[in-house]
Structures are given as C-alpha cells and as structure tokens.
C-alpha cells in the first residue's frame, strides 16, 4: 500500500479523500492556491504545498506545479477527486509516465468517455441502450434538420466534450434548430475548445438514474446500486438519493447486469458512474463519468463501503473486497448539496464564515471544508458542504433530512439551505414523484410539475 498520497483538489472532496487515507495509515499531501492557505484540507493534511495563484489555471489545473509538489514530497500516488484534473487524460498519462500512480481509470478510458460521441458509440457496442439521435458529430443545419425529421422535436444539442451541464441547447421546433445549433457550437468551442456537437431526442419526463461501479485490475466488477439525481437546476444536480423511488428490483437488476457486462468488456478499472435517463420503463445511456462523483456518499451510506478507500486499494493493485453478490444496500440515503449562493437569485456568495454549526445525531453525515473563520473564495465551485442522511425507510430519511436542515447554521455567506428546506417540504418530494424538469418548474411557479 502507498505510504503517501497527494490530493490534487480542494474543499470538501480534498477533506473527504484525506479522511480515507488517514484511516488506511497513509500520509497526505495537500496542494493549495494562495487563497486556500488556511483551508481545512491544508490544515488536516500531513504536508502541504502552495502550487500557485488563485485562478484554477494557475493552481488546481497547473499540471507541472502539481507534479513538482508530488516529486518534492515523495508522494507515490495522486488522487484527483472530482472536477479540475479528474477527467484529464493527459494529466493521468503524465502522472503515470513520471512514475506516480494515478488513482483512477486508465488514460485511454478517461479519453474514451470524455468524448461523449465516442462514449455513446462504445457503450452501444456493449449493448447499452442510448437515446435516438445523430449518433455522431453534426456540422450543418441541413444534416441536423434531416435527423430531427426522423426523431421528431423537441431535441437537445449537446457538446461532445461537454460537462457540468454546459453547452446544451434545446430546440422545440424546426424554426429554433439553426440558431440552437450555432449557439451550441459556439458555446462548445468557447468552453471546451472543441466545437463538435450531437443531437438527441429531448425527453419530457425522465429521471436521471446513474449506476455506481467499482472494478479492480483482476477482472472483478462490483455494482454498488443506483442513484436518482433528477433534482437539477440548469442540468446541475442539487439533491441525490438512493435507492430511486421510481425503480423496482425487476427494473434495476437487468440494468446492473448490462452495466457489469460493459465494465468487463471494457476492462474498466477503479470507480465509475454510468448515467442514464429513465422514462416509461426504459433506460437510455447519456454518459459515463470516469471518477468519484460528488454524490458518492449516499451509496456509501446504504452499502457501508468506503468508495475512496476502494479506489486507493484498486490503484495499489489489490483485489476488490466486496463482490457484487455480497452487497446488500440497507435503507435509504439522501444528499443535499449546500452551495454558497443566494437561495432565490443563485448569485454566488463567497465570503468569510462567521458561525458554522453542522447538524448531527443518528444517520447524519456532513462532508465540508467549512469552519468558523473559513474563507469561501470566489474562484471555485459553489458547493461548500454536503448534507447526507440515512434512514431505514425513505420516509424516515426525509424526516431526518428536514430535521437536519433545520439545525444547520452557516452565517457570513448566503447558502441554498432555505431552498432545500422548501423542496423537502413539498408533497411531491415526500412522495418521490419528480422528474429532471421538476425543479425548474418549481423555481418558476412554486410548484412541481408532476
């Protein structure tokens, strides 16, 4: 096992990874920008290295600085967390070339799944169902019009290199198509330096269902169940839960079998997530994330498996400790992403934390880098804490969530806790009957669309 791991990230996820490392007796190296000098992930780590200025480009995306930090601290492996360099195949490649272990999948798998057009092509071959669409990159409006005539409106135009909910445009009819295509191409070029886009049928009432996998380098594949991440704003998840209130075992089991087969066919290693939209009893693959997900804790709560520690063991060449057949999820878990933003206007709200009183009690977990006096800089992701609760039943879990949200005190910045409280109180959330469009509808009308 590694003696020292460098954590190439910040905030709650850097703290989360540090915790697993310490439980495994591994020393940690934190890297940080100037603004993060006094951050919790830096305070907790065994050692820390300042890697540059505040813009992500100059610090958390600065590959030479991160690799130099690994070199001077004698770290053996690098955990990228999520975001930043987690899905950068070049970073994984250079890391391994320099003799460090990248705690994640092979660069080839990161590259394959990072190109959504190629990813869809690949999983189709492995027998996973996909959404009707262009199946390849589109360049001309005439070609787009031909495909739309075939699959029907509305359609969604998505960036091949997309991520984080960016670069997607919906066209409801033929008059909107040309403009939506041009907008999507421009946005894709600006955000990802790659203007390739593709078209999919825009589904009206789907749920976002994703499957967590863990694979080792000995051919073992474990499926850790599904997560329902349908509550989203601008295609970004804000509440996630497992199991999904919409699925039966008769529906999830065949899906898990197909996902496991795809992993075996690919020879995948490490943790990964297959994302699907689910509508009228059908699953449609949309993308695969080749990394740890923000919402991984809900899976940990019901399976009792520490996904980060399994990632580290797999990277060290060990066998998975949990065979798929022996994993029996227990109870229900829900996560709320606590963002530093105005709960009504969603304007970012960086600043200095004055009071910080996280909730506790049975079945409550908080993953966060906050403490009284902590600085939330304006340069990075707005998610500053994750509240994760567990209950024996969904009803118990929802009641616990409402109670924990009531206790949670964060002052000095604005957070979306009031929005979570409102959502959790709705009868639709309590009944578990929502789709990916419900939150948008709720924000516009004060009611869920279902």
Q: Which two tokens stand for residue 77?
A: 């492996």
Which of 13, 78 has the CB closer to ligand ADP? 13
CA–CA dist 286, 293 (Å, integer): 16
CA–CA dist 334, 28 (Å, integer): 29
Q: State the minimum distance, in angstroms, from the CB of residue 72 to ligand ADP.
A: 35
Secondary structure element (H or E) that encloses residue 271, with its range: strand 270-279
C-alpha torsion 285→287→289→293, nearest 10: -70
- List residues with catalytic annotation: 291
| Pair type for strands 409-410 and 356-357 | antiparallel
Q: State the minimum distance, in angstroms, from the CB of residue 71 to ligand ADP.
A: 33
Which of 33, 134 has the CB closer to ligand ADP? 134
Q: State the minimum distance, in angstroms, from the CB of residue 45 to ligand ADP.
A: 30
CA–CA dist 385, 365 (Å, integer): 10
Which of 287, 310 has the CB closer to ligand ADP? 287
Contacting residues toward ligand ADP, per CB under 6 A: 131, 156, 162-166, 200-203, 206, 208, 232, 235, 275, 277, 286-287, 436
Match 């990230």 to its residue by tokens.
9
Q: Please, what's the largest Cα pairwise distance for the chain?
A: 61
Secondary structure element (H or E) that encloses residue 397, with its range: helix 394-407
CA–CA dist 136, 299 (Å, integer): 33
Q: State the minimum distance, in angstroms, from the CB of residue 236 to ligand ADP.
A: 8
Which of 86, 286 has the CB closer to ligand ADP? 286
Q: Are 42 and 77 in contact (CB under 8 A)?
A: no
Q: Which two tokens stand for residue 83?
A: 């975001």
Q: State the minimum distance, in angstroms, from the CB of residue 164 to ligand ADP.
A: 5
Which of 160, 336 has the CB closer to ligand ADP? 160
Q: Are 60 and 32 in contact (CB under 8 A)?
A: no
């Amino acid at each position: 096992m590694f003696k020292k791991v460098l954590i190439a990230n910040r905030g709650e996820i850097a703290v989360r990874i540090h915790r697993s490392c310490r439980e495994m007796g591994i020393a940690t190296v934190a890297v940080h920008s100037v603004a993060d000098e006094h951050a919790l992930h830096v305070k907790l780590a065994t050692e820390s290295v300042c890697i540059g200025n505040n813009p992500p480009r100059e610090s958390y995306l600065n590959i030479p600085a991160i690799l130099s930090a690994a070199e001077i601290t004698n770290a053996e492996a690098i955990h990228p967390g999520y975001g930043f360099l987690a899905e950068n195949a070049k970073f994984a490649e250079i890391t391994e070339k320099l003799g460090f272990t990248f705690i994640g999948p092979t660069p080839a798998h990161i590259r394959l799944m990072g190109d959504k057009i190629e990813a869809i092509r690949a999983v189709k071959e492995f027998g996973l169902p996909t959404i009707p669409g262009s199946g390849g990159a589109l360049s001309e409006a005439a070609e787009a019009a031909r495909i739309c005539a075939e699959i029907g409106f509305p359609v969604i135009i998505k960036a091949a290199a997309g991520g984080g909910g960016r670069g997607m445009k919906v066209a409801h009819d033929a008059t909107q198509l040309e403009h939506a295509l041009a907008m999507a191409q421009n946005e894709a070029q600006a955000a990802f330096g790659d203007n390739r886009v593709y078209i999919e049928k825009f589904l009206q009432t789907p749920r976002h269902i994703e499957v967590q996998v863990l694979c080792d380098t000995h051919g073992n594949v474990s499926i850790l169940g599904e997560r329902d991440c349908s509550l989203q704003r601008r295609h970004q998840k804000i509440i996630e839960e497992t199991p999904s209130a919409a699925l039966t075992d008769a529906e999830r089991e065949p899906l898990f079998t197909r996902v496991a087969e795809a992993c075996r066919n690919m020879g995948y290693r490490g943790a990964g997530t297959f994302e699907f939209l689910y509508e009228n009893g059908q699953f449609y693959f949309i993308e695969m994330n080749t990394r740890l997900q923000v919402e991984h804790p809900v899976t940990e709560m019901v399976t009792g498996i520490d996904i980060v520690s399994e990632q580290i063991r797999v990277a060290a060449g060990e066998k998975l400790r949990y065979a798929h057949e022996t994993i029996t999820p227990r109870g229900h878990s829900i996560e709320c992403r606590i963002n530093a933003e105005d709960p009504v206007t969603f304007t970012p709200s960086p600043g200095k934390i004055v009071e910080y009183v996280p909730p506790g009690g049975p079945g409550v977990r908080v993953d966060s880098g906050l403490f009284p006096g902590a600085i939330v800089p304006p340069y990075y992701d707005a998610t500053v804490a994750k509240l994760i609760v567990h209950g024996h039943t969904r009803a118990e879990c929802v009641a616990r969530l409402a109670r924990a949200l009531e206790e949670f005190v964060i002052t000095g910045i604005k957070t979306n806790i009031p929005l979570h409280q409102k959502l959790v109180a709705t009868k639709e959330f309590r009944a578990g009957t929502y789709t990916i469009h419900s939150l948008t509808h709720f924000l516009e009308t004060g009611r869920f669309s279902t």
